Structure 1
Amino acid sequence: MGLRGRGRTVSETTAGRPLRVLLADPAPMHRSGMRLVLAATGSAPHAEHGDGPEIVVAGETGDGAEAVDLARRLLPDVLIAEVALPRLDGMAVARAVTATGLPVRVLILTDHDGDELVLGAIAAGAAGFLRKDAPPAEVITAIRAVATGGAVITPAVLARILTRVAEALPAPETTTTSKLDALTDREREVLVHVARGHSNAEIAEALQVSETTIKTHVGHVLTKLRLRDRTQAVVLAYETGLVKPGA
């Protein structure tokens, strides 16, 4: 499930230039495979990988500490990091990059998908979490979504996480919704759609308004609730009981 969009399109973010990524994986073979997948965006028809700009590799490393240094120096749009990195693991890399305030988004790409790992990645500031066995087209879509301010989590993993969040929720009668008091009725309605994984375009169609209006509402929701991105908005919507699992 892709939790996408945050008021910007790919073209607005990159101004027509290719998306630049930094690869951080201790296995040279994995980095080579990723380079081949990304190279296809510049040669294969867009129908195969989704509409969007070419994606190029700005740099690569097998070391976590070097990944943070390269992120600062190269300013890639997206840093794709494995969890198991020497010196600094993927979580520490995400925390360090997020703490710098640089316009670099972190996408975790790993073989592991334990719940604690996923929740830890989100808490560390990662904007995306995918398994390495994800289809190439899904990886490309995730990179583009993350680069434009969205958030992406492997569908099966997201389903588990939401179930876990739901199980941890207090009973409806004890749920505190004061966090949502700052929102207007329309903003709450938009938040419900966001929590259900709907894109800005889908929300606009459902509410019969322009996509620009929805982008504005989403921006207001994130600002009022002091949320970093749509992933945090989804979690909050479930925590407060605004959205119920399966509803």
Structure 2
Amino acid sequence: MIRVLLADDEAMVRAGVRAILETDPGIEVVAEAADGRAAVELAQEHRPDVVLLDIRMPRLDGLGAAVELRRVVPEVAVVVLTTFDEDEYVARALDEGADGFLLKAADPRELLIGVRAVAGGAAYLSPKIAQRVVADLRGGRLGRHDDARRRVAGLTSREREVLALVGEGLSNQEIARRLAVVEGTVKAHVSAILQRLGVGNRVQAAILAYEAGLTR
């Protein structure tokens, strides 16, 4: 069962998102919060698998909450769920530790796919957002290829192999199957990779894999 904490300052939005999530028998909403500070407190209490955060909330906005969640409950997957798709918000969300970025206007099935993806250890971006991130990479605005290659060169050969698969968007379970190892071994490799590369989440690691030429 995937346990989800939902944070949005609009009660009707929370009700709608909860209704979508509960169409999946494998997902359970364990708590709701109307502001970012409450989301952090409830995450410490309930230890959900996934926290869905709106960006604009009182007391502490979603981006600030993402930072706090990374500090106090680093094992929790954080997904920004918002109506705002400006590049600034996307960049800040990824820089501050979000594992996913979803748009409220998207197909409801995308919400379920995204929650399941991040709960399984993968990263997930709405296709609309992913297209823009890839376009930025191809255009060179996010491309720091020499630096990425230098940083990746410090990894072991197995870590580079795992990083390439992270860059392809595979979950820990999928990577474990691909490499014929147990999932716990993959989790250990991913944790080591994030630490050695100095990145906060799988999205940033995937971008580095792309910049370093490990994945297309």
With normalisation by structure 1, the TM-score equals 0.73
Equivalent in the alignment of 2:201: 229
The whole-number CA distance in structure 2 between the counterparts of 1:97 and 1:199 is 21
2:116 to 137, 144, 156: 144
Equivalent in the alignment of 1:100: 72
Shift of 1:133: 2.1
After superposition, what is the alpha-carbon deviation per residue over 1:60-114, rounded to whole angstroms, capped at 9, x for unaligned? Answer: 1222222222222222221111111112111011111111135322111111111
User: Partner letter of residue 242 of structure 1?
Assistant: G
Is the 2:4–2:30 Cα contact (8 Å) retained in structure 1? yes
Match of 2:56, SS? coil
Is the 1:75–1:102 Cα contact (8 Å) retained in structure 2? no
Equivalent in the alignment of 2:213: 242
Equivalent in the alignment of 2:2: 19
After superposition, what is the alpha-carbon deviation per residue over 1:157-196, rounded to whole angstroms, capped at 9, x for unaligned? Answer: 11211322342235x6xx2422122234454344334323
Equivalent in the alignment of 2:160: 188
Shift of 1:31: 0.8
The whole-number CA distance in structure 2 between the counterparts of 1:36 and 1:101 is 26
Equivalent in the alignment of 2:94: 122
Unpaired stretches in structure 1, ≥5 consecutive residues: 1-17, 43-53
The whole-number CA distance in structure 2 between the counterparts of 1:218 and 1:23 is 26
Unpaired stretches in structure 2, ≥5 consecutive residues: none
Q: 1:63 to 1:236 in 2, by over 3 A?
A: same
When Rg is computed on C-alpha atoms for both structures, the one with the higher figure is 1
Match of 2:31, SS? strand
Matches within 5 A, 1:155-174: 155-166=127-138, 167-168=140-141, 169=143
Match of 1:117, SS? helix
The whole-number CA distance in structure 2 between the counterparts of 1:20 and 1:197 is 22
Is the 2:3–2:50 Cα contact (8 Å) retained in structure 1? yes
Moved more, 194-203 or 148-157: 194-203
The whole-number CA distance in structure 1 between the counterparts of 2:136 and 2:84 is 18
The size of the alignment, in residue pairs, is: 211
Is the 2:121–2:171 Cα contact (8 Å) retained in structure 1? no
User: Partner letter of residue 132 of structure 1?
Assistant: K
1:210 to 162, 180, 203: 180
The whole-number CA distance in structure 2 between the counterparts of 1:91 and 1:227 is 17
Provide the alpha-carbon RMSD of the alignment.
2.7
Is the 2:120–2:171 Cα contact (8 Å) retained in structure 1? no
Q: 1:222 to 1:135 in 2, by over 3 A?
A: same
Shift of 1:32: 0.8
Equivalent in the alignment of 2:11: 28
Greater RCO structure (CA 8 Å; 6+ sep)? 1
The whole-number CA distance in structure 2 between the counterparts of 1:105 and 1:68 is 13
